[in-house]
Amino acid sequence: MEQDFKPMDFINGEIMAIDKPLKWTSFDAVKRLRGAIQKRLRIKKFKVGHAGTLDPLATGVLIVCTGRATKRIEDLQSGDKEYIATIELGATTPSFDLETEINAYYPTDHITEELVKETLESFRGDIMQVPPVFSAVKIEGKRAYKFARNGKEIELKAKPIKIKEIELLEFTGKTLKFRVECGKGTYIRALARDIGEKLNSGAHLIELRRTKVGNIKIKDCMKIEEAIDKINNAPLVFQAST
């Protein structure tokens, strides 16, 4: 049975909340949706963008804007974000996640649940954070990850960020899962690194799910397939000329 979709106006602008799949880049998601819209409107070029990049190894809320709504991207991506993160203790990687191999091991026997809770709480508020070298931060006009992947050592400056809420959800002794609500510019991979260091050990991110961006929650999001179905079948407010 066909769904009863509301009319869509891609030209004047639609804001679509997508649950980004694992191992997809944010650009992969935008490209897929743009292609479907171009096919539906029978045009070769069309403006589609996303608000707030998600790493390939992360899933969750990705806001995609079409047409004139792309002018709202800056405002949308400035909203607070919520994540559910799982980190592995006792080991580090150069990228602070599973993109790269483990490069060092550290003791974990001294880490208790009480210590973890105290450590997480210490990050609440306005703090300074050094971004990961495997990131899109620009150095000398180039993305930092390009230097990192070529083995070139670079030094990034700490930037102010805000951690509004942070709470422990699960602790196994080797891994910990926590929920964090943070402001713009926060790198959860870097937070994993800093948590490991503050625990006098090491840590890296092994799973990340973004559950909220501004007022948009994960329950509001569509799977890629659902979004494509909506693009293909929703009535059009305006049909571009061929």
- Contacts of residue 148, defined as CB under 8 A and 6 or more positions apart, other chains included, come to 94, 95, 133, 134, 154
Give the CA dihedral 153, 158, 164, 169, nearest 10 degrees: 30
Residue 45 is encoded by which pair of tokens? 């070029």
DSSP state, 97? S
Q: How many Å apart are CA 165 and CA 226, to the nearest integer?
A: 32
Looking at this protein, which amino acid is placed at residue 27? F
- Contacts of residue 168, defined as CB under 8 A and 6 or more positions apart, other chains included, come to 113, 116, 117, 120, 176, 177, 178
Identify the H or E element spanning 169.
Answer: strand 159-171
Do 86 and 236 meet the contact criterion of CB atoms below 8 Å apart? no
Q: Is 55 a catalytic residue?
A: yes
Per the residue annotation, which of 55, 75, 194, 229 is the catalytic one?
55
Any idea which residues carry the catalytic annotation?
55
